Amino acid sequence: MSKSVEKEPKVISFKPNRNFYYGAAAVAALLVLLFGINWNPNTEPISFDDLANAEIEAYFEQTDLDMSSYEIAEVVSVTDIQLNDVLSDDLEDDILMDYLDENVDDIEELNLEATP
């Protein structure tokens, strides 16, 4: 009988490099998340004007301020508030006169005075 010599096959085992592949995959996933979350083409800052009136009202309704409407009225200075501050659109003389022409029968009864 002849002597047979078994040689080891020339195969590279992937098991020792498995931790390297896991680490590389984790770093790639973190980079994708980092750039994916922070990628925002709109860099305009959010302002108070962007909030809808319904959101502001919902905030005040849900927040417990422990103040009644009378207490809030005492805090807010009425002398500094003008009519156009309360309205969403500024009233102009032309719009006001058109409204009065359409809805008032006798304008003379209103006692309108001219403002300078």
pLDDT tens for 64-95 read 777 777 877 777 776 766 665 666 666 678 88
| Per-residue model confidence as pLDDT tens digits over 10-42 | 777 666 677 788 889 999 999 888 887 766 666
The answer to whether 83 and 91 have CB atoms below 8 angstroms apart is: yes
Task: Report DSSP state, residue 8.
Answer: P
CA distance 49 to 51: 5
How far is C-alpha 38 from the chain's CA centre? 16
The structure tokens listed for 79 are 């002398």
Nearest CA to 84 out of 76, 75, 93 is that of: 93
